[in-house]
Chains A and B, each alone.
Chain A
């Protein structure tokens, strides 16, 4: 099951650039939360702080607290362990090109030392079913490489790969921006189904997509969280003029 995320006084830097400033945010468990804002506003940096990927850049720095469930992720837990608990799906599908579909999905598990074949089979099937891909690939699991799938299938395979390690949180950084409308709607349907079991945070430039899939939406601008409210409120009657100007296309 998903867990809540509590962010307090979060600041992040790339070198001298202060990319996130004093972010305070409570993301509810088992809901989809969308983050919107113009390019360079800090929303992707923010999600990368939620699984400690930001710090993989040598010139990056983070201060503040991020609690995922009961754990302070910058103090109580290793980066490897947090990335098992917090899965991530990126803008472009990133299959391991030489691996089969099966090996792609269970790659995280194997890295974590899983060797039991029957158990792996079960997890791969369950993950592919959860990612709404099982029926399309079940006959070619070990024959076809992950890279041979269509873009939309690859993205769902990457979601299956993230689900295979049984995370509590799923971060999605523009997961459908490189996909056609049919594949996009499959990903959105998937988010809709998955959010009852996982806490989902989705970064998107597509505001209709945010409105369709998320219960809560946060608007970032110049490294600050300008407004965080129910998606309904943000898209019909936001409280802050800057949010309204952005979502109505008056800037950005």
Chain B
């Protein structure tokens, strides 16, 4: 009995870990996609004018100005990114995906209600928190136009993972005291 976590503690935690895990998996996956698609030396950086055909504008329900600004948007990303940013983000997103998958596995193992699975949750959530902090530090050091897009979502993730980590550590401590 001493090695089992009370069911009431496990169920909500597993659901929360799965929910945020799936959202974060999508977020890291999208970041990896972004960094793959928008690379230095591409058309937007070469100053080629946007190709805004009337039929495409109607189909996408866009104004001519919006269509032109889409190219500017890519230029903002490229000109705000230092040379190290793209490979750094690619590595960090890959690490984030791996850590998130580990947290999803930990949610499954948590449902077996073994105390040892709490340790796995602590490790995976701590890893996610480190990835968030590493991303935040990187975002602080990029251009202001891009920084504005990254900092707040990263701060939200840091807060979420901090709350989760503290909750799991407290559960683990309570289990030790009970046994």
On whether the two chains bind one another, the answer is no
